[in-house]
């Protein structure tokens, strides 16, 4: 473990940035191998269908989402979770105001680069 890897985050730490699909996200913590990101959605907001090489595990911290992974769609509420395998197309629709906490492995360098540009 190097000194540059932060191991703890307090509630509310991290700056919110607007995502390309109009929602908000903040990076909570990250190492090169793992990243935790919180996403905020208003009712009816859509997280556009996309894929990436990272494995993603998501936890519904608040609200209810319609989640599509590949050809499968489910409604998942607070306390539920889902996993997106590497390279599989996925997206969400917020059925009410909600928050997702996503973990990615490895870290999303695209998020880190976008956040550096926003500074």
Q: Is the entire prediction scored with pTM above 0.85?
A: yes
Q: Which residues pair with 72 in a beta bridge?
A: 69
In a domain, 8, yes or no: no
pLDDT band at 117 (very low <50, low <70, confident <90, very high): confident
In a domain, 20, yes or no: no
In a domain, 2, yes or no: no
Say what the pLDDT of residue 3 is. Answer: 47
Residue 60 sits in a domain whose CATH number is 2.60.120.10
| Mean pLDDT (whole number) for 64-75 | 98
d(CA 91, CA 49): 4
What average pLDDT is seen over the chain?
Answer: 93
d(CA 95, CA 49): 16
Q: What angle do CA 19, 102, 89 make, to 5 degrees?
A: 70
Q: Over the stretch 90-113, which tens digit does the pLDDT of each residue have?
A: 999 999 999 999 999 999 999 998
The count of domains in the chain is 1
List the domain range (segments joined by +) for residue 43: 25-118
């Amino acid at each position: 473990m190097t000194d540059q890897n932060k191991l703890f985050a307090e509630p509310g730490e991290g700056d919110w940035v607007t995502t390309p699909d109009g929602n908000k996200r903040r990076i909570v913590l990250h190492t090169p191998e793992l990243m935790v990101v919180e996403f905020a959605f208003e009712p009816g907001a859509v997280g556009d269908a996309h894929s990436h090489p990272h494995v993603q595990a998501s936890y519904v911290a608040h609200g209810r989402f319609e989640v599509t992974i590949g050809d499968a769609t489910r409604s998942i509420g607070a306390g539920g979770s889902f996993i997106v395998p590497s390279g599989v197309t996925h997206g969400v629709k917020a059925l009410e105001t909600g928050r997702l906490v996503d973990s990615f492995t490895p870290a999303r360098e695209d998020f880190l680069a976008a956040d550096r540009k926003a500074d």
